[in-house]
Structure 1
Amino acid sequence: MPYCHVIVLRRGKNEAKKWLMHMKLLAAVALHQAKTNILLFSPGHACKVFGRMPHRVPAAQGRVHRLLDGAPDRNRARRVAGGLNPCECSGMDGRNHMQMQPLINERSRCSTHGCRRSNSVPIIELYLQFPWNGPLPRGPWFVVAFGLVSPRAANARNGKSSRQSSSQAVGRSVSNQMRPLRDPAKLAAAASSQRHLREIHAHLLVSGRIASPSHLAAFLASLASSSSDDDDDGDLSYARLLLPRRPATLLAHNSLLRALARGRRPHLAFGAFRDLPLVPDNYSFTFLVRAATALAAAAASALDAALIAGSVHASALRHGHAGDPHVQSGAVSMYAAAGDVGAARAAFAEIASPDVVCVTAMVGALATGGEADAARELFDGMPQRDHVAWNAMIAGYVHTGRSREALRLFDEMRHAGAAVGEVTLVSALTACAQLGALERGKWVHSCAHSRGMRLSVTLGTALIDMYSKCGAVAAAMEVFDSMGERNVYTWTSAVSGLAMNGMGRDCLALFKRMESTGVEPNGVTFVVVLRGCSMAGLVDEGRACFDSMKSNHGIDPWLEHYGCMVDLYGRAGRLDDAVNFINGMPLEPHEGVWGALLNASRIHKNVELGKYAMDKLMAIESKNDAAHVLLSNIYADSQNWKGVSNVRNMMKAKGVKKVPGCSAIEVGGKVHEFFVGGKTHPRHKEIEMMLAEMNQRLRLQGYIANTKEVLFDIEEEDKEDAISLHSEKLAIAFGLVALPEDMEIRIVKNLRVCEDCHDYTKMISKVFNREIVMRDRNRFHHFKDGACSCKDYW
């Protein structure tokens, strides 16, 4: 027969609900690993509970008597209790210990359970252990936590035969579980689950050691740090509930503050700091600065981040703790997260002897602030570098687009013997994604696997991004499908990968799947979905997606969303709709909106609309080199060489220079870069010979150079010579020379591929029977058998 373990609280119904959490943790201890349930019981049913006990010991009678003392039917209470005095509860001894085990310590029994009937109501009123085979009715008076444990299961856990008393088995299991709790502070910090934390607290209650400030502080910190994002009424509330029940100490409050600052909801640390009943010390501000660092990094704008950092630093100054070394070091990290390199420099200059943590923070601040060279100088001067310093410098290179240097430093880090963790590999994967270095990215992936790293959300998302930006969509989706946990960023990365590779229908399907799983898309998700629709020409689907932002998800469109819609209409040739859409915008159009209209004018050769868009764009961003080139292309298409000349003169007057075309290809784990007409590559002679062979074989197939985008009024032959040396053609030639015949050629170009190079590459894929993947500034082109995945819609 199963045994039912009951804990009764002497509380009213409303207060009983407030103490449900206490009930759960105490029941967890009493029942060991049994499932715990919560019911409300009436005083009458408490009598029934007592009546079904096999042995009614005096202590139990006394407990029930006092339990029902406030009930309306006091005569019934006296009859059940047998007229015994409630104070006789103190007479419990070892002989009846197996029949009833009150989970309270001996010292507090008389004060909290005595005949004085103190208003300080005890947490535990009664713990009963008895055979039970009937239903448990509900009532409004008392909270009862109960759970069922079979005698066989209870005994099996303790290695005993089923003939032994179930009471002994359960009692020993609880005792065994509590035996190692001689240092609750350490165990609380190392608790493996929320249930474990509550068991520890129950032990502290039983032993009376919860009064120890250090034990309480450790327990509070562990509760706060174990709280989940959606656990607003869980362990965090439970931790807050404990604070006012003890004399206020900075140790306890700072422990809670520290845990909140390090947790997933650092904004709660500000509330805890505001409610601090004591004067904050240097540790309080150290933890507050850490929370501010996390908030500044996630702030919606630079202004918000600056306000957060400045207010916290000002508060530390006001309380006289801004000069504390820990606060100073934290201030450097805080301003770095806020993007205020000047303030970070000032805070760093005030530190007499910066430690490795502080120097690392400054390295990160300089690197992410665009001063990578200054960061590297500081990094190289560090006498000791831990893995955090290496990670900061690598991430700084990645942030500033210096991906090759990031990968070189990654290699140095490994050779130096520094610990390579998930943060390091995520930065390395991002660098590979920027370069389009698929083979190197695969190596980093295998490195993570060989080190036994779990495929976390962060690592998995970085892998999806890397494979997508290298054109390996199948590999990206394989990683996505293998992930056990995904967040909105994971889904967005996968949707973006499909979009940039021209798979608009698949992009929309994955987005619908995302919505069906209950993952709420954010603004970035809609940006990539709209781009996917634009690249695939899905106008109606894109418009429906745009309209659903506000109606279905409550997201107000950003300027980026409006720019995507203009691009969607413009690419499809619906120029009037694009103009009308701009005129109906509730926001002032930015350069992205007018740039999309200008590009649409180039695609559809509308000179007047192009001039209109250019004028609007120049009023916002007068030195946009891409805009000048687009307008030049529009003029060149219409043979308006005077217009081309005017644009060129305008660029010279403004000091605007066209960004030179650059194409990169990875061979043997090394990235090779080629510029227009470049002749500096060590294998230049071989490249020239292959380029000549390519041109000859394509001419035999009827290839005629498309010179419309040559922005000079020169002879046709000179135009052909000019476009024959475009960087992507040089990269393809090197790929044909250096790569095995059965291997794809993967090119990454910094600019949009021109029409001639696009047609040229299609023919190369057919004539040389090679698959070529090219990533330009806007999208991917997968060339195979003389066709492109974009279907000439780019």
Structure 2
Amino acid sequence: MAVALSFSSPLRPTTHDDISSALQSCTSLKQAKQIHVCILRNNPQDAEHLYAKLLLVSTSLPSMSATALDYALLVFEQLEEPNIFMWNTMIRGYAGSESPKRTISFYTGMRERGMVPNNYTFTFLIKACASSNSSGPAVHAQSIVFGIPDSDVHVYTSLLNMYALGNVEIARKVFDRMKYKTAATWNSMIVAYTSRGGIEAAKELFDEMPDKNEKSWNVMVCGYTKIGKFDVARSMFNDMPLKTLPTWNAMIVGYNQASRPAEALSIFHQMQLAGVKPDQITVVSILHSCALLGALELGEWVRLYVEKRKLDRNITVCNAIINMYAKCGSIDKAMAVFKGMRERSLVSWNTLISGMAIHGRGEEASDLFTEMEAKRLMPDDITFVGLLNACAHAGLAGRAWTYFRDMQNVYGLRPKIEHYGCMVDVLGRTNQLDEAVNLVDQMPIEPNAVILGSLLSACRVRNDSQLGQKVLEKLVLLEPLNSGYYVLLSNMYASAKRWKDVTRVRILMKSKGIGKTPGCSSIEVNNTIHEFVVGDKTHLQTQEIYNKLGEISRRLESIGYVPDTSVVLFDLDEEEKAENLSIHSEKLAVAFGLLNNSRKKPIRVVKNLRVCRDCHIAIKLISQVYDREIVLRDCNRFHHFKDGQCSCKEFW
């Protein structure tokens, strides 16, 4: 009986069975080389079988590298008459390598040696053609020449996959010609349709498919989520005979990709009730959902789960936790996770720098970059977007110019449209409108809607409605249905009390069928997200919330607060304007938080739009009067209110 030998031992396998057994348990190139030496020294009977096995092991190592493949080639070239199995082993190795094009030249050498290919040869060759996007039709023709029948399901499924990458109609012809089809064949054709938006054709095939498996259902569910048909996706999901972890993940990821985090969390809760344990994909997706919603309590629970399952050793998971904390308003915890990581990727640094940016902590973002430079880690485009945003939210125009120049002169990174947009934003926020206009005029690329949108915001800061109107005209040509631009211009007119112009803009919006995006604010209490819109009266605690708003108004008025009615876009009397301001969604959310949150916990609110000037003033005073920390995330940044002050220092 063969004995398993340790390669750290001076003993070496000598017989055919011993060597074969050693090959069976081989897990590294070093071991493969040691076994090769044993074959050469002992020259056992049926050495051809052992060489075939050695080639298979060398090209199938768990982490096969170019070095392992080169060694396999060295072994192969020493063989006098390699058989078809050996040729196919090498072809399979190259097909799965980073250099799949070498497969074709290897196949050419095989033909020159007079070796006749078989169905396995073509299965591997076609895979290589698909990976390298070359020689596919020629290899298909060769398979016909050598008599590979269309009943060979593996070869023709490979052909289907290859053609599906470029032409779904040819792939369908291959599919229709096949005499025998496995579940993998049907799934490949369904994937080909869904990946190109042909969901109806995919559904027809799915309905015809005789033996649907889990992948079949998952592909259809993902196909419907990609095109936004979530009702159909959810219905199919509910009808699935068996839901395994990849199925749940498919739905969660689909909802997240469509920016529907609340539904993603709903699926996650169902998954928990079903007793399915999350994996790395699940927790990264759910952390992303928490980040979008500002659901810190659930995010904290996910982090505890991650630590319990020891998933926190994975860099991707840690990066997701950093992002969650940053987007949920706990930037200090994000920093603590970052510091506790054993290894960090560039994404880790970029995520934290971007997090510091939206919290207005420009100095700390700069310190992180300095530390990153000291570690000789090369920044990328995203790094500088984060740094420039950090400068914008902290009012550091001079430093922004330094980074903007350094990314070109020091790091050789050509500024992209995003970097110019950040610079325009920096200049606009620091009341340097003329410089912002000059930068836009000197840009080597045509300004897009993001650039012009930043310039329009700068016009609002300067209250320059004349230039703002010119910028808006260009924006309307680029994005004629974007309501945000019209609202910005209306704000400028309203600030100048030009009510006729406000009315004109509103009429223009109505004539184009453009509606103002309603303000919506959410707050998490006891792991439940509560949402409010302006004037909301649908909540179960509506009476208590409005009573609290009345109390807040009285207490603020007692210390001299006067509503800033200039932000109301309607030509109303002052009393009506003040009433309109008092029911903004963020004020409703803050009132709800005062009613339901423990005094020890900050009140955390997320708003989908930019917080208005009056709400900003009011919440500063609320933090002082009620001695509460309030964290508000709007569409631009975080505002940390405490003791009557805001972390933004008016750069918002």
TM range (shorter): 0.7 to 0.9
**Equivalent in 305, 311, 334 of residue 166 of structure 2:** 311
Q: Is the 8 A contact 1:752 1:776 kept in 2?
A: yes
CA shift for structure 1 position 757: 0.4
CA distance in structure 2 between the aligned counterparts of 1:684 and 1:468, rounded to whole angstroms: 31
Q: What SS does the aligned partner of 1:234 have?
A: helix
- Of the candidates 488, 509, 512, which is equivalent to residue 346 of structure 2? 488
Q: Does 1:686 align with 2:544?
A: yes
Which position in structure 2 is the counterpart of 1:714? Answer: 572
Amino acid at match of 1:559: I
**SS of 2:445's equivalent?**
coil
How do 1:253-292 residues align onto structure 2 when only pairs under 5 Å count? Answer: 253=90, 255-256=92-93, 259-260=96-97, 268-269=99-100, 271-272=102-103, 275-277=106-108, 281-282=122-123, 285=126
Q: Give the alignment partner of residue 744 of structure 1, picking from 578, 597, 602.
A: 602
2:491 — aligned with what?
A: 633
1:721 aligned partner, one-letter code: E
Relative to the length of structure 1, the TM-score reads 0.70
Deviations 1:412-448 (A, max 9, x none): 2122232421111111111111110001000001111
Mapping for residues 156-171 of structure 1, pairs under 5 Å: 171=10
User: For 1:316 and 1:714, how far apart are their aligned partners in 2?
Assistant: 64
Please give the secondary structure, in 1, of the residue aligned with 2:470.
helix
Q: 2:239 aligns with which of 378, 381, 396?
A: 381
Q: In 1, Cα distance between the equivalents of 2:212 and 2:102?
A: 30
- 1:593 alignment counterpart: 451
For the 8 Å contact 2:388–2:422, the answer to whether it is kept is yes
Question: Where does 1:469-480 land on structure 2 (aligned, <5 Å)?
Answer: 469-480=327-338
CA distance in 2, matches of 1:772, 1:270: 59
Secondary structure at 1:704 match in 2:
coil
Q: Distance in 2 between matches of 1:31 and 1:723?
A: 77
Query: Is the helix fraction higher in 1 or 2?
Result: 2
How far residue 455 of structure 1 moved from its aligned partner, in angstroms, is 2.0
Deviation per CA, 1:369-400, whole angstroms, max 9, x where unpaired? 43333322222222122211111111111111
1:159-308 equivalences under 5 Å are 171-172=10-11, 174=12, 182-183=20-21, 186-188=24-26, 191=27, 194-196=29-31, 198-199=33-34, 202=37, 208=47, 211=50, 213=52, 216-222=55-61, 225-227=63-65, 234-242=67-75, 246-247=82-83, 249=85, 251-253=88-90, 255-256=92-93, 259-260=96-97, 268-269=99-100, 271-272=102-103, 275-277=106-108, 281-282=122-123, 285=126
**Cα separation, 2, equivalents of 1:429 and 1:766:** 32
* DSSP-derived class of the 1:781 partner: strand
Alpha-carbon deviation of 1:462? 0.5
Change (3 A) 1:363 1:703: same
Partner of 2:606, secondary structure, is strand
Label 1:515 to 1:343 Cα distance change in 2 as closer, same or farther (>3 A): farther
Indicate conservation of the 8 Å contact 1:197/1:222, yes or no.
no
Q: How does 1:72-221 map to 2 (within 5 A)?
A: 171-172=10-11, 174=12, 182-183=20-21, 186-188=24-26, 191=27, 194-196=29-31, 198-199=33-34, 202=37, 208=47, 211=50, 213=52, 216-221=55-60
Matched, 1:371 2:210: no
Letter in 1 for 2:376: G
Structure 1 residues 468 and 587, CA, compared in 2 at 3 Å: closer, same or farther?
Answer: same
Contact 2:568 2:577 in 1 (8 A): yes
CA contact under 8 A between 2:459 and 2:465: conserved in structure 1?
Answer: yes
- Among all aligned residue pairs of Structure 1 and Structure 2, give the percentage whose two residues are the same amino acid: 37
User: Are 2:358 and 2:390, in contact at CA under 8 Å, matched by a contact in 1?
Assistant: yes
Aligned residues: 600
2:566 is paired with a residue of what secondary structure? coil
User: Are the structure 2 counterparts of residues 539 and 239 from structure 1 closer, same or farther at C-alpha, using a change threshold of 3 Å?
Assistant: farther
SS in 1 for 2:59: helix
Does the Cα contact within 8 Å between 1:360 and 1:392 map onto a contact in 2?
A: yes
Map 1:350-429 to 2 at 5 A. Answer: 353-429=211-287
Query: 2:552 is aligned with what amino acid?
Result: M
1:632 maps to amino acid: S
Q: In structure 2, do the counterparts of structure 1 residues 793 and 404 end up closer, same or farther at CA, with 3 Å as the change threshold?
A: same
Q: CA deviation at 1:187?
A: 2.7
Residue 412 of structure 2 is aligned to residue 575 of structure 1: no
* Paired position in structure 1 for 2:136: none
Q: Per-residue CA shift, 1:552-605, capped at 9, x if unaligned?
A: 333332211111111111111111111111111111111000000001111110
Query: Structure 2, unaligned stretches of length 5 or more?
Result: 109-116, 134-160
| Residue of structure 2 equivalent to 1:667 | 525
CA–CA distance in 2 between the matches of 1:638 and 1:425?
49
- Residues 222-249 of structure 1 show CA distances to partners (whole Å, capped at 9, x for unaligned) of 16x343xxxxx53344345555554454
Structure number with bigger Rg: 1
Find 1:459's aligned residue among 317, 321, 325: 317
Aligned residue type for 1:238: Y
Paired position in structure 2 for 1:509: 367
Secondary structure of the 1:649 match is helix
* 1:752 match: secondary structure: coil
In angstroms, what is the RMSD of aligned CA positions? 3.3
Change (3 A) 1:218 1:541: same
Is contact 1:661–1:675 with CA below 8 Å preserved after alignment?
Answer: yes
Q: Say whether 1:556 aligns with 2:414.
A: yes
Which amino acid counterpart does residue 93 of structure 2 have in structure 1?
A: L
Q: Structure 1 pair 488/348, CA: closer, same or farther in 2 (3 Å)?
A: farther
* Code of the aligned partner of 1:219: S
Q: Distance in 2 between matches of 1:194 and 1:336?
A: 40
Structure 2 residue corresponding to 1:701, chosen from 535, 542, 559: 559
* Residues 6-45 of structure 1: pairs in structure 2 closer than 5 A: none
TM-score scaled by length of structure 2: 0.84
2:604 is paired with a residue whose SS is strand
- Distance in 1 (CA, whole Å) between partners of 2:168 and 2:76 is 27
